[in-house]
Amino acid sequence: MKNTTYLPVVAGLALSATSAMAETPVLQVMTYDSFVTEWGPGPAIEAAFEAECACDLQFVGTGDGAALLARLQLEGPRTEADIVLGLDTNLTAAARETGLFAPHGVEADLDLPIAWTDAEFLPFDWGYFAFVGNAGADAPTSLRALADSDIQIVIQDPRSSTPGLGLLMWVKTAYGDEAASLWADLADNIVTVTPGWSEAYGMFLEGEADAVLSYTTSPAYHLIAEEDDSKVAWGFDEGHYMQVEVAGKVAGTDQPELADQFLAFMVSEGFQSVIPTTNWMYPAVTPAGGLPDGFETLLTPAKSLLLSPEDAAAMRDAALDEWRTALSQ
C-alpha cells in the first residue's frame, strides 16, 4: 500500500523536474578547443553568463579556429550553433559568404589598434603572431634570418588553425612575390606541422623544437601563472601580423534574444576581464582595472601587418599553394 500511495507523488515530482529542465533555454556556442579547456576562458565565462541569463550556456569545442569555418560550411543551415566564437579577420569574408550570420547589433567602445566597422562579426580579443623561444638563446630578428638559420620550429596547419593561417598571411604580406622563396628556405626549419595551436605549443614546451608559432602575449602565461620568465617572443624587422578574434550570431538561431544577450555580455567586464589571464590575449575592451601586471613586459611590435578580410580571402589559395609546394619538396 505504501508503494501504491507514494508512486504517483514521486512520478509527479519527476515530471515537474523534467518540465523545469525543459524550460531552461540552451545557448550553444561553437568555439575552438583551447577556449573550453579547464585552463581556458570557457568555464569562468559560462559561470558568469549563466548567473545573468537564467539559461544553459553550452560551449562546443571544434578543433582549432580555422576548423570552425570548415564545420560551419559543412553543416550549413543545419548547424545547431547559435553563436560561432573564434573566427578571425582572415576568415570572416569566407564566413560572410555562407550567408549564415546575422548582424550583431552591438555598439561597444572597443580598444583595438584598428577601426572596427563590421556589422556581423564582433571582436572579443586580439594580439600579434610571433615565434616564442627560450630566453637567452640566439634569436633571429626577421623571418628571413629565421629561414637562414638552423633553428627548429613547430608551426600549425593553415587549413585548420588560425595561427597557421596567420603565418601564411604574415609571410605573404611581408614578402609578396618572394613568399614562395622564403617558404622554400624555411621548410628545413620546420620540425612538424600540427593541426592546432595546443599541440604545437606542447611540443615546444617538451623540448621538441627551439621555438613555436604563437603570440607576443604567450610569455605572459609563463610569467604570471608560473612565475617563469624563461619564454620570450622574438621581434621581427618585417613587423608582426595582427589577429582579431571575433564572434558572430547564426541567423537561424532559435534563441535570437539570448544570442544578442551573449554578444552584449561578450564586450562587458564580466567577459573581457577573463581574457588576459585565460586566453592570454589582449581584450577587445580593456577591463576597468587595466591589464594584469606582467603585460607591460611583452613585446610591442614596431610595425603591425594586417590584410583586410577581403584581401586575405583573395590571397589565401595562392599563399596556401606556395606553402604546400615548399613543404612537399
166/172 Cα distance (integer angstroms): 10
What percentage of the chain carries pLDDT values higher than 90? 91
| The pLDDT value given to residue 185 | 97
277/127 Cα distance (integer angstroms): 13
In the chain, where does the domain assigned CATH 3.40.190.10 lie?
Answer: 2-126+244-295, 127-242+297-327
Least Cα distance to 243 among 155, 164, 157, 319 occurs for 164
3 state SS of 79: coil
pLDDT digit string, tens, across residues 253-273: 999 999 999 999 999 999 999
CA angle 127, 130, 136 (to 5 degrees): 125
Residue 241 has pLDDT above 60, yes or no: yes
pLDDT digit string, tens, across residues 283-311: 999 999 999 999 999 999 999 999 999 99
Q: Which CATH number fits domain 127-242+297-327: 3.40.190.10, 2.60.120.200, 3.40.30.10, 3.40.50.1220?
A: 3.40.190.10
Average pLDDT, the chain: 93
Domain at 2-126+244-295, CATH homologous superfamily:
Periplasmic binding protein-like II (3.40.190.10)
46 vs 24, 40, 187, 198, 304, CA distance in Å? 15, 11, 41, 21, 33
DSSP 99: T
Least Cα distance to 123 among 285, 4, 231, 262 occurs for 285
Q: Which residues face 248 on adjacent strands?
A: 84, 121
| The pLDDT value given to residue 63 | 82
